[in-house]
Amino acid sequence: MPEYVPIEDFINPDLDQSSLPIRPYPPGKSRFYINLYPDTLSFEDTVSGEESFTRTVLMQNTGLDNIVIEDIILVGDFELVTTKPLKLKIGETMGIELKFTPNKVGVITGGMYIDAKRAEGERFVSLTGSGIED
């Protein structure tokens, strides 16, 4: 019996012209990829201790598979209004609504981080707002 020889010794998978793809997705494309818009978000001046109007960040799945959102983490005096999405289907866009509730007077900075484990792309939005006196 002849010795085993791996198929890679006979063909280059990147040049395969057969009808069955070697990869589940095209080269140069990511299986899990998200985009966030905008990448910075400013809230209007808000009285300290009160809530601002909600603002929306758009999240789009531009990858080639569904994305599971593990968590949405906020830093600073910003709160998540939207219930946490669990899945973002291929090509789907969803809005993430946030509000600003300053605990002090002055400029407050923070951010929103999307924990999507294996997803590539933008996963952080910079947030700013100003707390003012009543």
Nearest residue to 120 (alpha-carbon basis) of 58, 27, 31, 25: 31
- Hey, which residues does 54 pair with through a beta bridge? none
Whether residue 28 lies inside any domain: the answer is: no
Whether 48 and 103 have beta carbons less than 8 Å apart is answered as yes
Number of domains in the chain: 1
Whether residue 2 lies inside any domain: the answer is: no
Whether residue 20 lies inside any domain: the answer is: no
- Token pair for 26: 């095209």
CATH classification at residue 58: 2.60.40.10
Instruction: Determine the Cα–Cα distance for residues 42 and 59; give it in Å rounded to an integer.
Output: 17
Give pLDDT tens digits for 82-126.
887 678 899 999 999 999 999 999 999 999 999 887 778 778 999
Whether 78 and 99 have beta carbons less than 8 Å apart is answered as yes
Whether residue 48 lies inside any domain: the answer is: yes
Nearest residue to 108 (alpha-carbon basis) of 134, 72, 73, 75: 75
Give pLDDT tens digits for 35-89.
999 999 999 999 999 999 999 999 998 888 898 888 899 999 999 998 876 788 9
Domain coverage including residue 55: 33-132
